[in-house]
Structure 1
Amino acid sequence: MKAAGFVRTPLARALWLAGLSLAGAMAHASDAVILPEVDVVAGDAARAPANASNWSAGDSRVATKTTTTLGELAQSVSVVTRAQIEAQMPSTIVEALNYSPGAYAGLFGNATRYDYVALRGFVDTSMANTVLDGLRLMSDAGSFSAFAVDPYFVERVELVRGPISVLYGNAAPGGMVALTSKQPQHARHSEVRVDVGSDAQRALAFDLAGGLSDTVSVRLTGIGKQGDSMQDYAEEKRLAIMPQLLWQPDKDTALLLQAYLQNDPEGGFHSGTPYEGSVSEHAGRKIRREFFDGEPDHDQFDRSQRMLGYQFAHRFTPAWEVRQNLRYTSSDMDLEQFYQAGWADDSELYRGYSFSEEKLKGLAVDTRLQGAVMTGDWLHELVLGIDYQDRKNEGFWGWGTVGNIDAFNPVYGNDAISDTARMNWVRKFRQTGFYLQDQIALGGWRFTAGARYDRANTSVHDPDAGTTTTWSGGEWSRRLGVLYRFDNGIAPYLSYSESFDPSSNTDIDGQVLRPTRGRQLEGGVKYQPHAGLLLTAALYDLDQEHVARMVPGASHFEPVGTVQSRGLELEAVLDLGKYVTLHAAYTRNDMEIRNGADGSEGKRPRQSPEQLASAWLNLTPAAGTRLGLGVRHIGKSWADIANTMAVPSTTLFDLSASVELGKWIEGMKGVSLQLSANNLFDKDYVAACYGENYCYFGEGRSVMTSLKYVW
């Protein structure tokens, strides 16, 4: 009864704020992301299957909440298409960003439990900056309740760099990762895939889509997979399914019903090792990257997540439409973990014990009116909207101590727990935002102007002590951009944007942290003469105020100060159809802490590599075959805030090859075989460090063979 009440109250409030009754929402409402940003049934275009061979994307569907050509956006945006995802076979969403500029996915090494990604060097909300089908995943950063979507369910990933609060509300200053799910289509598509790989990895997946009638189409996608982590005794398991139904009663109306259900009964390895012993030697020795610091019979991570929602669009004139996205989210999380806590002597590590249970419920709804008007020679594409987010996370954290473990010759079974304590809490977040955006075209000029006002409230309640600490207030966010597109495809641009991100995290005194604010000035140039070629260069100057980071080994956050991030990002996307594809990216990022605590002034934050570079070459040596070669360079980063412990740079190589067996063997039509290998030469390296006691090994060589049948 309590859960049901939680759903009804925010839902009624959200619909009221949007100026809609529930009946009105179903009759007039909004956001049909149905295929290409859902041109609410653009004839056969909305019924055609996605082009699996298309490596380049000519437009963005999330940076402005309209479909806009990448070469006409006064902002840095990269798109990872389904073709790239299928060729590289990332195990997580963030792995799909390995070849995009401005993003670093190795914050916690080979851990796959959460989708951590730092954008333009900012890591403070690295697991809570993801949007799915236009709505934020309601992850609670600072707790263990963060959502993850399997890459098999995703049609494309857009990486929008820089502040984006003007359209999406609470957001990290470095940008956001926007996912578009696979969606129903009238054209029949049936696919079954079997994966077998190193570390006992295996998976079975299916994807079925097609029309049931002229107005109804469906899609059912699912995956089951499991395997071992690189570390001893750690396992990963997942079951996920996504049923969808699309109803298009006429050319002006579309309603998409969606559900996403996922259970991760095993979350793999998620711990670190000290800097001495991983990056450098300790007592003349280094720890094996396969070292497991827990207890085989005690460590567990069990997460169940459920998402139910809809996307609706109605076009009431040729130029104007109303859209609405709504999603209700819930999750249950159970955690029990033994973890190392620094050196006790030359061979043994101290260990701690943590346990937690959390239950999260959230609602997100976004309603907007959008259309085009002419004023003289000026073409205006307007978006006027309101969105609402409501999240409640309830649970407890517990901790204790346990016997030491030998890091070089571990013996398990010393699992007696002592000195246990427990803290109960209820964390709440609520935000309502009103936004307006105008995209203006005048000849070769493109102007973007947007403003948003948010009211937000965050609170943390301690039921044992009967105390509640809160923050509430209102903030404006703005964005301005100007771009000039020459006839030859060259387009210089300049933009200013802001971010606003309230938090439910607390400091050492139990007080809720102040919201962070971000401000960015960006200038660059783009060259996009056609959809198969895009060259971009961007320079940015980005500040974030009121930054705080979790204290390693503790549950509270400490203030960092203001962090300034300045950088250069280069990207090249060359797609010559089925013959040659080249993706290349380079990032140079200079970060500095200002007005920080003693010892941090002028220093660089942890876990932020100074340089990133990558290139992926995709070739078709013969009909029905494909060969992909990739190289990734990760620059030096720091393990401590004083910048005395460097994490060295490394260079990694990846490989992918596939063959359509039907092109070569009679009777094998629709069957393809693929081999993918990451870290091809099995480089042993540390990906990043969160302090001197918590460094994270990067994933060793992983090889996956995939057999797929499409009919």
Structure 2
Amino acid sequence: MKLNQTSPGRAPGVAALLVATLLLAFGAAQAAEPDVASPDTAGTAAVTNLVEVVGRRAGGAYHAGEAAGTKTEMSLRELPQAVRVMSRQSLDDLGATRLDDALDYVGGVSRQNNFGGMWDNIAIRGLAGDSNNGMALLQNGFAGNRGYNGPRDTANIERIEFLKGPAAALYGASEPGGTLNIVTKSPQWRAAHALEAYLGSDDLYRSTLDATGPLAQNVAYRVNVALEKRGSMRDYVDTRRTLLAPALTWKLDDGTRVDYRGEVQRHRGAMDRGVAAVAGRLGVMPRSRFLGEPGDGDLTVENSTHQLMVDHPLNAEWRLRAGLAWKEGSILGYATEAAATVQQDGRTLRRQRRFRDYTSHDGAGQLELAGQFATGTVRHDLLLGVSGYRFRSDQLMLRVQPTNAAPYAIDILAPVYGQPLPAVLPSTDTIERQRDRALYLQDALHLGARWRLLLGMRFDSYDQVLHNLRTGSRTDQSPDSRSPRAGLSYLATPRWTLYANTGRSFRPNTGTTAAGAALTPEQGRAVEAGTKWESADGRAGATLAFYDIRKRDVVTGDPANPGYSILAGAVRSRGFDGDFTGQLDRHWRANGSLSFIDARVTRDNTLAVGAGLVNVPRLNGSLLLMYEGAASLGTYGAGGGVTYSARRPGDARTQAQAAAGVPVFELPAYTTARLSGWWRASPALRVSLDVDNVFDRTFYTSSYQSTWVAPGARRSVVLGLQTTF
């Protein structure tokens, strides 16, 4: 058996191991809990650790009791929704420097096409985001996925909130499977500084600065800086990244708080579409082989974000919140990309060369009134808000098709680089404008000691105009949307909650079909039911959720025109996901996840009905365990993690392929392991060591088509030095 493959017969064994470990961890935590707290007070037992630490942490929390993205005073145990918070401690224990370093450790998350390494992209509960913008993503409650964004650096991230299920009732355009809300680091009122340096395999060099403190009695700052140069196992592929993230907080005498959050990032690297399969088989070519052209140079992705937020108390019960955000992004450069299939000889792969000049501009604003009041014995947490945004995307693409440049091919078994670069010709020249106005209302009702009811509704008025400057055509659409949701929780015991919810979603689609037509907005509906558990001390918790999601007017890649999209009709996703996070005792902490996803096409004119959705495994799971202790030479920590992903479809299966009996192209299952350790020699000095893919397995993380398959990184070792002052 090859190292990069896991036979179907062994998958249940891996799943059983993960389940058994989670149950053991859960049992240990439950056995340690005292029998305290009533249902009325249990919701406040677990609270997020709001005291931020500058630099890498020791002994921080995995489990969180609240999430800013829910926009309610309810604790997560009371909330009728599955929410998983990836804390800063979790990111540190995973050695995560990029967002996708942490995604495998959350239930229901699966990797998607990452645009040749130029952005982050996942599916939650089997449903992916916009194929032109990536996953559904919020940053401090503002849309963070419109436009063009390089892979996110974690240097200025405090925590990541996975809001599973529909979030459209609060945020509008989003996925019914779930949304990420990234919470960035806040200024602190005590001066603190941290410098970190890392040296690793494949020529990794990284340094970061985290500095915070007061500028005046009522003004505090924070600045995060990251500089990184990273090679890879891939021939001719390396990246360079810079991040500057300033933040300011100003507290006025009347209790008003003004916050600014900024972020400027530049990411440069070769677009790398990965390796190719031959007749549906992977492993024919080495995982290091680059199928682009080194002479193209780098693609540059630049993005900047500026957010201004004001929180003003009207009295003890009511407050006004207002926010403005401005976001810009761009992609610029040449790239050579493989055609859809390897030729009959099993080694010749035709390629196309593209030049991209993409820019995006996004302005958004929101105004909210939030407060608490009572009607008889029922307490209300009310939120009333209005929001809007204006978005513009300019796409200029020049390219040469493989049919027009047959000599511009590559032998995947014996590549020769440095061929004459063909001139690119006009292909795409569009301007897309979006505008949205919305009104939303949410009421969280406390119905006595044990019942919680969450109701929400959002009304969106949306306009989209697409100008095709090459043809002179113009496409307009102005759909309106209503996005309701309702959820009910029952606090059965001081530790256990039962809940259910339902909601609808709405998401406009960017980009066009190969014919230049605009894409109809997607509509979704989801139903979820589950249970939650939380320890008495609020340091551990678990969630198990079952769901059924239906979505129509779904966009997927066009099999006949790579790089363009088509409407896939309707899809369905159903299954379950579970997460456990927290302390097992005073030395051990754990982070575990397990999910089963059955995601399929249910209606379409092009894709095969019943076909699985691309890159979505039926089963995946993870476990991270860390131990901390003390010795005569200082404190230390050690642990490791394991992730498992079952086999999954590697491309969109068409009806023609199904009728012809063409075998399904699948990515093989894989299991990876990592080790992590650190030693704090003094209060100000810490040394860390992270080893990823310990057994150097060959595996494949995602695919767009059989010639665009992303291989996972080989074994890497990273040594870090962190100091605070």
| Residue 120 (structure 1) aligns with | 125
Mean alpha-carbon deviation: is it higher for 339-348 or for 239-248?
339-348
Which of 302, 305, 329 is matched with 2:303 structurally?
305
Which of 414, 429, 446 is matched with 1:409 structurally?
414
Normalised to the residue count of structure 1, the TM-score between the two structures is 0.88
Give, in whole Å, the separation in 1 of the partners of 2:567 and 2:52: 51
Task: For residue 260 of structure 1, give the secondary structure of its aligned residue in structure 2.
Answer: strand
Are the equivalent residues in 2 in contact too, given 1:229–1:235 (CA < 8 A)? yes
Are the equivalent residues in 2 in contact too, given 1:586–1:614 (CA < 8 A)? yes
| Residue 557 (structure 2) aligns with | 550
Are the equivalent residues in 1 in contact too, given 2:568–2:606 (CA < 8 A)? no
Which of 695, 706, 709 is matched with 2:720 structurally?
706
1:391 Cα deviation from its structure 2 partner = 0.8
Which of 426, 429, 434 is matched with 2:434 structurally?
429
1:91 Cα deviation from its structure 2 partner = 3.2
With over 3 angstroms needed to count, the CA separation of the structure-2 counterparts of 1:542 and 1:550, relative to structure 1, is: same
1:621 Cα deviation from its structure 2 partner = 4.0
1:372 aligns with 2:372: yes
Are the equivalent residues in 2 in contact too, given 1:46–1:185 (CA < 8 A)? no
With over 3 angstroms needed to count, the CA separation of the structure-2 counterparts of 1:101 and 1:518, relative to structure 1, is: same
Give, in whole Å, the separation in 2 of the partners of 1:170 and 1:681: 41
Counterpart of 1:212, as a letter, is L
1:165 aligns with 2:168: yes
Task: For residue 690 of structure 1, give the secondary structure of its aligned residue in structure 2.
Answer: strand
Which of 177, 200, 205 is matched with 2:203 structurally?
200
With over 3 angstroms needed to count, the CA separation of the structure-2 counterparts of 1:632 and 1:278, relative to structure 1, is: farther
With over 3 angstroms needed to count, the CA separation of the structure-2 counterparts of 1:567 and 1:504, relative to structure 1, is: same
Which of 499, 502, 523 is matched with 1:496 structurally?
502
1:528 aligns with 2:534: yes
Give, in whole Å, the separation in 2 of the partners of 1:138 and 1:343: 33
Which of 180, 183, 192 is matched with 1:180 structurally?
183
Q: CA offsets, 1:639-694, max 9 Å, x none? A: 242572222211110111111011xxxxxx41101111221111101223323332
1:570 aligns with 2:578: yes
Unaligned runs of 5+ residues in structure 1 are 1-44, 663-668
Give, in whole Å, the separation in 2 of the partners of 1:48 and 1:235: 33
Give, in whole Å, the separation in 2 of the partners of 1:704 and 1:616: 18
Task: For residue 152 of structure 1, give the secondary structure of its aligned residue in structure 2.
Answer: coil
1:603 Cα deviation from its structure 2 partner = 1.7
1:356 Cα deviation from its structure 2 partner = 0.8
Q: CA offsets, 1:200-250, max 9 Å, x none? A: 010111000011222111111101111113211111111111112211023
Task: For residue 202 of structure 2, give the secondary structure of its aligned residue in structure 1.
Answer: coil
Which of 670, 678, 694 is matched with 2:708 structurally?
694
| Residue 629 (structure 1) aligns with | 640
Counterpart of 1:506, as a letter, is T
With over 3 angstroms needed to count, the CA separation of the structure-2 counterparts of 1:332 and 1:572, relative to structure 1, is: closer
Counterpart of 1:682, as a letter, is D
Which of 578, 581, 593 is matched with 2:589 structurally?
581
| Residue 353 (structure 2) aligns with | 353
Q: CA offsets, 1:425-467, max 9 Å, x none? A: 1011111111000001122101000001001112211123222
Are the equivalent residues in 1 in contact too, given 2:543–2:580 (CA < 8 A)? yes
Mean alpha-carbon deviation: is it higher for 373-382 or for 636-645?
636-645
Are the equivalent residues in 2 in contact too, given 1:60–1:158 (CA < 8 A)? no
Are the equivalent residues in 2 in contact too, given 1:470–1:511 (CA < 8 A)? no
Higher RCO (CA-CA < 8 Å; seq separation 6+): 2
Task: For residue 455 of structure 1, give the secondary structure of its aligned residue in structure 2.
Answer: strand
With over 3 angstroms needed to count, the CA separation of the structure-2 counterparts of 1:235 and 1:178, relative to structure 1, is: same
1:289 aligns with 2:296: no
Which of 278, 293, 297 is matched with 1:276 structurally?
278
Are the equivalent residues in 2 in contact too, given 1:638–1:647 (CA < 8 A)? yes
Are the equivalent residues in 1 in contact too, given 2:167–2:178 (CA < 8 A)? yes
Matches within 5 A, 1:234-273: 234-250=237-253, 252-264=255-267, 266-273=268-275
Alignment root-mean-square deviation, CA: 2.0
Unaligned runs of 5+ residues in structure 2 are 1-48
1:186 Cα deviation from its structure 2 partner = 0.2
Give, in whole Å, the separation in 2 of the partners of 1:243 and 1:64: 25
1:656 aligns with 2:656: no
1:599 Cα deviation from its structure 2 partner = 5.6
| Residue 78 (structure 1) aligns with | 84
Give, in whole Å, the separation in 1 of the partners of 2:65 and 2:195: 30
Task: For residue 297 of structure 1, give the secondary structure of its aligned residue in structure 2.
Answer: helix
How many aligned residue pairs are there? 651
Are the equivalent residues in 2 in contact too, given 1:573–1:583 (CA < 8 A)? yes
1:554 Cα deviation from its structure 2 partner = 3.0
Percent identity among equivalent residues? Answer: 24
1:529 Cα deviation from its structure 2 partner = 3.2
Give, in whole Å, the separation in 2 of the partners of 1:308 and 1:124: 23
Give, in whole Å, the separation in 2 of the partners of 1:94 and 1:686: 14
Give, in whole Å, the separation in 2 of the partners of 1:710 and 1:239: 21
With over 3 angstroms needed to count, the CA separation of the structure-2 counterparts of 1:419 and 1:261, relative to structure 1, is: closer
Give, in whole Å, the separation in 1 of the partners of 2:347 and 2:557: 28
Give, in whole Å, the separation in 2 of the partners of 1:378 and 1:122: 37
Which of 604, 615, 638 is matched with 2:612 structurally?
604
